[in-house]
A and B are shown apart, each in its own frame.
Chain A
């Protein structure tokens, strides 16, 4: 079965610092991968998705970027965090009719 590893679980970062969140998938190959964000009191929003290595599509203009250096690795990054980047970040994987989510990272930018 598929498993998504996402870390860290919580992160507190100062404004202007860099960010790197990592997501790895086990139990499948060539999955579609997604980064979602849930701001406080709001619904989930799709940030990035990837259908293959090196293929990244962005859904909303923002301060963040994503990369997929390997088939089962998806990374969310920022060079300089903003206060508005605070939120709950979820990695997700879609493969053969099933959708799986990581456990999420709660990011607080102070």
Chain B
């Protein structure tokens, strides 16, 4: 079993829909990251969470440390949100932040 599991693996939505991507992990962590990878391959860091909730524009990320679960929500989805969304964790107890363990990614396609 992977240490970081994402669901769903593929997600198709119509423009305007509310989208949720889930991430569960099985190890102790110091932080969890949500990343966005566009077809060209470049990766952008969306959020870094260690507790609670963060919001940036139409994106919301939440984390429940006790349940070892995080969600990424996209409100009013748009075709430009189409990308691969990746959950990654920084293991607890390490001194080198950024040594991430990645989920397999969720491929999101938003149709107009």
Contacts and interface: CB of A to CB of B under 8 A. Distances in A.
Contact of B99 (A34, A42, A90): A34
Contacts of B100: 34, 36, 44, 46, 99
B98 interface: yes
A44 B41 contact: no
A103 interface: yes
Contact of A51 (B44, B96, B103, B104): B96
What DSSP secondary structure best describes chain A's contact surface? Answer: strand
Contacts of A94: 97-98
B48 interface: yes
A103 B45 contact: no
Given A32-B98, A94-B97, A43 B43 contact: no
A42 B103 CA distance: 10
Contacts of B101: 46
A42 B84 CA distance: 12
A1 B101 CA distance: 25
Nearest to A57: B96
Contact of A45 (B33, B96, B102, B105): B102
Contacts of B104: 42-43
A45 B101 CA distance: 7
Contacts of B35: 101
B50 to A, nearest CB: 10
5 A-B pairs closest in CB distance: A94-B98, A101-B43, A44-B102, A104-B41, A99-B45
Given A34-B100, A46-B101, A100-B45, 4 more contacts: A43-B102, A101-B42, A103-B42, A104-B43
Interface of B: 33, 35, 40-45, 48, 86, 88, 95-105
28 contacts: A32-B97, A34-B98, A34-B99, A38-B41, A43-B102, A43-B103, A43-B104, A43-B105, A44-B86, A44-B88, A46-B99, A46-B101, A49-B96, A49-B99, A51-B95, A51-B96, A59-B99, A88-B41, A90-B41, A92-B98, A94-B98, A99-B48, A99-B100, A101-B42, A101-B45, A103-B41, A104-B43, A106-B41
